[in-house]
Amino acid sequence: MNRKPKALIIYTGGTIGMVKDSYTGALMPVNFERLLANIPEIVKLDIELDIHTFEQTLDSSNVLPEHWIQMVETIEKNYERYDGFVILHGSDTMAHSASAVSFMIENLSKPVIFTGSQLPIGVLRTDAKENFITALEIAVMKENDLPKVTEVCVYFEYHLLKGNRTTKFSSSHFNAFTSTNYPPLAEAGVQILFNDNILRKHNGLPTKFYKKLDPNIAILKIFPGMTENYVRGVLQIDGIKAIVLETFGSGNAPTTEWFINALKDAIARNIIIVNVTQCPSGSVMQGKYNTSSALGEIGVLSGQDITTEAALVKLMFLLANSPDLDTVRKKFPIPLKEEMTINDWS
């Protein structure tokens, strides 16, 4: 007799499980049992479900690297017991968390799916039920007795997206996430249609879990009229090891002498600088225009088409798990989990 598929739900908090505080009217997380009571349809899935709830549920604005480590530890501890994992998470930092977990689990052979909602589960027009139920379906889905999905994903509003290619782009629409530089892994309609050509295939190697991150990273977003004090202030933060430089267009930045010298001084102090575009889609192409040529010449690394979220956590991961900074510099431009696409200008 075939056993029921098993899924572990990791409940971290987020809008999906929130209710209004009777005094302030602000949304606050509640326990999972109360959340589950609002989804009686879940019994029709015929899935054996277990729940791991964070000791303190979180609004995702309060999620820290230590919570990503906690998620990975929970998956590692339960890895052999379940067919798949669904992480209920607030949407605001879901892309950061999904990106982080994607780097922290090597040779993943089962689905890890992040989902949540824009409206709480108890609200009449909530998007929580569909997101949650379909995420569970995909988490236990198999083909030829093997998991259909073997990577970290975000499921939201009928789309399954690659976790480390995902960005939240809307605070008010149900379709809150985008993956502009990478197509959806699946779209859910009457049927769930998978894009089999891009689904990651398990390589058969043992799964390995990493539980170290180095948060000594900063973002330097350039803008017209920025001052030298602002730029040098970010570059001289005590203990900083790497900077995500958010540039214009295809990686362009001012060519003023003080700006280039500020970056050059930081690189001379062994600070790694990665060039990421501010644009919602497209790629950095250092050297295509004169306004990006100098960046490559002084040692700024091209982030290609990586998202800011993925660049941040990739640096945290590499800094914590590499023997030295030279190794980080060599590894960052190489895709580890299809989080970036190499272009001809790299």
Catalytic residue list: 15
Tell the burial category of 319 from Cβ atoms under 10 Å away from its Cβ (0-12, 13-18, 19+): buried
Q: Are 92 and 12 in contact (CB under 8 A)?
A: no
Q: Are 75 and 112 in contact (CB under 8 A)?
A: yes
DSSP codes joined into one string, 236-294:
T-TT--EEEEEEBTTTB----HHHHHHHHHHHHTT-EEEEEESSSS----TTSSHHHHH
For residues 54 and 290, what is the distance between their CA atoms, to the nearest angstrom? Answer: 50
Ramachandran category for residue 29: left, alpha or beta (phi over 0 → left; psi -120 to 50 → alpha): beta
Q: Are 29 and 58 in contact (CB under 8 A)?
A: yes
Q: Is 234 helix (H, G, I), strand (E, B) or coil?
A: helix
297: its two tokens: 């010449």
* Partner residues linked to 285 by β-bridges: none
User: Any alpha helices (H) in 85-156, and if so which ranges?
Assistant: 94-104, 128-139
Residue matched to tokens 């995909």: 138
